[in-house]
């Protein structure tokens, strides 16, 4: 076995493929290892820890197993295991499997070598005679099956039975001995032994009169989406490995003492946080974050903070803070505490001084452009290695406001040569002479998100730090800072971002739509802001149902069709929205065989399955000589697929009577129809397919209740407008239609803000905040059918 001598330590490391082949791996295995970035990094680290430049194939295969199967929670003990392999105290796969199992259970706790060696069979020698004796016993116990099955006997099963007797015996010798003894018992293979076994034909199941499909039981994750998260007391495993360009590796995990201190403070409870930045209104993507953050805490009987990530004083407004607190409550969540990152500015400042004192932060004077160039070229800042005392003095000057904005930053001394740009000496503090909305004018320096986020998570003893997948590449820098300062480390987990078709979810784009007045404010019903969805008539329960249906996945950031959200909205509204009659584009119909002044008050059902005897489930609809139907429900020429009214044709008026068109009254030209004359059938004897919604004059000569109705379509024409360079050019010019002259039944005059209805044959509608006692305004929440033509419940 070749090892690296002291004189070789400064030499350049061989290329990965060459070093993999040097430890005895075959070409294919070595190339497959290179194809996997994680395996490459782990195997390179294992070879470096072993300090070998070449070894026997048997040892190399064991080292490869260590690289691919070693438990992440016990990485502190990996060098010890490698020593056992190199010294051949652990020399076969059975011993190594036992070692890995032992260390996985142990985790980062101190290693008892006596128990470890006992568990792995170190020093146990199984003689060839012992193997022969065990093989004889196993073959004798299975002799009846051997004689019957001959060479088709399962040799692997026989080997396993021997291994139970001698777990540390040489597996290769065991297999060879069993195969040799089988030949002695059975003799040479016959033609029948060599023939391929006949495949048995599958018997067709007996047909039954009625086949019932039994649905597979739901998975644990479907029943409880939070089951994937570990318990707080399990937070001792390695969170991530931080790879440095010089080959060094930091393995982030909580020590036993740090975890015990954390659990004592929290009482072992789950602690999460929902940390929005107060620089805009929340959208449906934040609803997913709330569902995960607040939902996990609620499911585990823990607590969830509402923490305002207010590190940028220029972008934050009290309007946004008030909105966020109100909308969190509306979504059904109750924060444990409301906190601000600015509450911890003093703590963060003191930790920054500690970081400088450790030689892990420095004051830099590069401009943003110079920083960008150095990151691209992987070059250090010229101020990176300035004396610690100098950085401490300059940082104090920054804090006191003695250095101008843009003339200095505090940067973390991470790894400028790292392939991960989020390890390239991120900025921890910058100078801003801007008063803070929450902290006042005390500070002239403000921490960055990358510096503050992980530290406040730690200071608040957060157990699960949950965020979207785009933060995955920031995980090394998150843990770098906590490890560097010896702080408690939360369990970080990323989930897929919620992207919904025909809309934008970026706060920057949403802000552009609002400030440039492309939409009517943050609560425009066409937006997927939570305020916009609420104004449109969508409930928090429908949103949460939609989120739960998506699942808490890490799969990808695939686009979810908006129809999927609409399905959950319809499902709820069908159960809770009472029915009502509204005509959007009225066409006058005069019932000629109904006397002038006659008003028939009819009972209309609020719900399709309402009992005829339940008065509370009905509302009164006046039927008079003048009624109004939709203009689109009348044609001069009838057809088989048209169920509306036509000359000489009869239709049923919903909740009322059949009517038959007897005359058409035209306006100034033949294309202008101003009135229909019709006769009604008070006996209701006629059975008709066509059923129309309608509204009548409540009393002779009195116009029906006039309401404003707003119809909304998709805001953007393309499914994914965010990908377009000219995304504003993709706005749908027909995304909003305002109908000011719609007619409604009298009962809708009493509708209140928050009330929702199904306007029969038209869709689901909600009272808008623009409504006044003199003018009711209704927003269409969703149609009765999706865009594919599937009908929702009627």
The position carrying tokens 């946004």 is 320
State how far the Cα of 370 lies from the Cα of 374, in Å rounded to an integer.
6
Which of 457, 449, 398 has its CA nearest to residue 428? Answer: 449
Write the CB contacts of 340 (distance below 8 Å, at least 6 apart in sequence). Answer: 307, 308, 310, 438, 439
Mark whether 31 is an active-site residue: no
For residue 643, is it left (φ>0), alpha (ψ between -120 and 50) or beta? alpha
CB 582, CB 594: distance < 8 Å = no
Cα separation values, 348 from 252, 424, 458, 480, Å: 21, 21, 11, 16
Mark whether 497 is an active-site residue: yes
Burial class (CB within 10 angstroms; exposed 0-12, middle 13-18, buried 19+) of 360: middle
What DSSP state is assigned to residue 296? Answer: H
State how far the Cα of 181 lies from the Cα of 309, in Å rounded to an integer.
73
Which of 417, 416, 473 has its CA nearest to residue 450? Answer: 473
Q: Of 507, 526, 579, 625, which residue is the catalytic one?
A: 507
Number of H helices, E strands in the chain: 25, 31
The position carrying tokens 């620089």 is 279
Phi and psi torsions of 626, nearest 5° = -115, 120
Cα separation values, 335 from 308, 658, 749, 769, Å: 12, 57, 38, 27
Which of 170, 163, 169, 161 has its CA nearest to residue 140? Answer: 161
Q: Of 150, 384, 497, 548, which residue is the catalytic one?
A: 497
Mark whether 337 is an active-site residue: no
Q: What is the DSSP string of 263-294?
A: HHHHTT--EEEE---SSS--BHHHHHHHHHHH
Write the CB contacts of 124 (distance below 8 Å, at least 6 apart in sequence). Answer: 168
State how far the Cα of 494 lies from the Cα of 472, in Å rounded to an integer.
6
CB 676, CB 589: distance < 8 Å = yes
Q: Of 49, 277, 679, 708, which residue is the catalytic one?
A: 277
Beta strands 695-696 and 626-630 are: antiparallel
What is residue 768's three-state secondary structure? coil
State how far the Cα of 42 lies from the Cα of 32, in Å rounded to an integer.
13
297 token code pair: 């805490």
Which of 418, 427, 467, 468 has its CA nearest to residue 450? Answer: 427
State how far the Cα of 411 lies from the Cα of 407, in Å rounded to an integer.
13
Phi and psi torsions of 556, nearest 5° = -170, -170
- Helix, strand, coil share of the chain (percent; to 5): 40, 20, 40
Cα separation values, 752 from 582, 748, 767, 778, Å: 17, 9, 7, 11
Cα separation values, 75 from 49, 118, 140, Å: 12, 20, 44
Strand order across the beta sheet in which 445-447 lies: 361-364, 409-412, 427-431, 445-447
State how far the Cα of 636 lies from the Cα of 654, in Å rounded to an integer.
22
CB 300, CB 332: distance < 8 Å = no
Phi and psi torsions of 743, nearest 5° = -110, 145
Question: Looking at the annotation, which residues are catalytic?
Answer: 277, 497, 507
């Amino acid at each position: 076995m070749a090892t690296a001598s002291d004189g070789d330590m400064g030499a350049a490391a061989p290329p990965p493929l060459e070093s993999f082949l040097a430890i005895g791996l075959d070409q294919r295995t070595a190339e497959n290892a290179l194809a996997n970035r994680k395996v490459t990094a782990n195997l390179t680290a294992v070879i470096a820890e072993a300090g070998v430049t070449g070894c026997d194939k048997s040892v190399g295969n064991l080292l490869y197993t260590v690289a691919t199967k070693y438990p992440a929670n016990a990485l502190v003990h990996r060098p010890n295991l490698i020593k056992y392999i190199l010294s051949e105290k652990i020399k076969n796969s059975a011993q190594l499997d036992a070692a890995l199992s032992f260390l996985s259970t142990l985790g980062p706790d101190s290693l008892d070598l006596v128990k470890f060696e006992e568990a792995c069979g170190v020093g146990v020698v199984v003689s060839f005679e012992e193997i022969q004796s065990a093989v004889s016993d196993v073959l004798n116990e299975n002799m009846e099956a051997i004689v019957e099955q001959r060479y088709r006997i399962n040799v692997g099963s026989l080997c396993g039975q021997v291994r139970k007797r001698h777990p540390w015996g040489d597996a290769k010798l065991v297999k060879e001995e069993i195969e040799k003894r089988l030949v002695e018992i059975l003799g040479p293979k016959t033609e029948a032994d060599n023939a391929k076994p006949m495949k048995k034909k599958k018997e067709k199941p007996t047909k039954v009169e009625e086949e019932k499909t039994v649905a597979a039981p739901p998975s644990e994750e479907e029943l409880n989406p939070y089951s994937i998260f570990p318990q707080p007391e399990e937070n001792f495993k390695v969170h991530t490995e931080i790879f440095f360009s010089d080959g060094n590796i930091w393995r982030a995990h909580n020590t036993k003492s740090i975890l015990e201190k954390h659990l004592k403070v929290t009482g072992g409870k789950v602690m999460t946080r929902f940390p929005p930045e107060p620089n805009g209104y929340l959208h449906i993507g934040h609803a997913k974050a709330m569902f995960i953050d607040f939902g996990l805490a609620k499911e585990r009987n823990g607590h969830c903070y509402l923490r305002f990530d207010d590190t940028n004083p220029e972008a934050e407004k009290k309007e946004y803070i008030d909105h966020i607190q109100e909308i969190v409550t509306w979504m059904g969540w109750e924060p444990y505490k409301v906190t601000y990152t600015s509450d911890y500015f003093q703590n963060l400042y003191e930790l920054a001084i500690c970081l400088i004192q450790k030689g892990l932060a420095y004051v830099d004077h590069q401009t943003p452009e110079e920083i960008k160039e150095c990151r691209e070229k992987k070059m250090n800042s010229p101020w990176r290695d300035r004396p610690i005392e100098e950085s401490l003095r300059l940082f104090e000057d920054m804090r006191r406001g003695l250095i101008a904005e843009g003339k200095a930053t505090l940067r973390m001394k991470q790894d400028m040569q790292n392939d991960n740009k989020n390890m390239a000496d991120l900025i921890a503090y910058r100078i801003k002479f801007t008063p803070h909305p929450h902290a006042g004018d005390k500070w002239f320096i403000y921490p960055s998100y990358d510096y503050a986020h992980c530290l406040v998570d730690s200071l608040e003893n957060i157990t699960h730090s949950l965020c979207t997948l785009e933060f995955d590449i920031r995980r090394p820098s998150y843990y770098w800072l906590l490890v560097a300062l010896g702080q408690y480390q939360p369990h970080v987990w990323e989930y897929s971002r919620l992207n919904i078709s025909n809309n934008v979810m970026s706060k920057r784009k949403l802000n552009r739509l609002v400030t440039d007045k492309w939409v009517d404010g943050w609560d425009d019903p066409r937006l997927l802001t939570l305020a916009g969805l609420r104004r449109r008539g969508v409930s928090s329960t429908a949103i949460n149902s939609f989120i739960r249906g998506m699942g808490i996945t890490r799969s990808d950031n695939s686009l979810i069709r908006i129809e999927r959200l609409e399905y959950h909205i319809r499902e709820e509204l069908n159960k809770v929205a009472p029915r009502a009659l509204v005509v959007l584009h009225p066409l006058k119909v005069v019932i000629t065989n109904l006397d002038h002044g006659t008003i028939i008050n009819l009972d209309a059902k609020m719900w399709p399955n309402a009992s005829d005897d339940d008065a509370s489930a009905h509302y009164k609809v006046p039927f008079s000589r003048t009624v109004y139907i939709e203009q689109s429900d009348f044609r001069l020429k009838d057809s088989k697929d048209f169920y509306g009214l036509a000359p000489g044709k009869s239709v049923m008026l919903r909740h009322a009577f059949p009517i038959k068109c007897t005359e058409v009254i035209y306006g100034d030209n033949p294309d202008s129809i101003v009135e229909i004359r019709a006769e009604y059938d008070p006996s209701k004897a006629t059975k008709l397919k066509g059923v129309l919604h309608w509204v009548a004059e409540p009393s002779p000569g009195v116009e029906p209740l006039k309401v404003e109705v707003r119809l909304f379509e998709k805001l953007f024409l393309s499914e994914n407008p965010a990908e377009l360079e000219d995304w504003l050019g993709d706005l749908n010019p027909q995304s909003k239609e305002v109908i000011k002259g719609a007619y409604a039944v009298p009962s809708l005059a009493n509708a209140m803000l928050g009330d929702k209805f199904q306007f029969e044959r038209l869709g689901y509608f909600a009272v808008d905040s623009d409504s006044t006692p003199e003018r009711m305004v209704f927003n269409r929440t969703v149609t009765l059918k999706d865009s594919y033509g599937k009908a929702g419940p009627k």
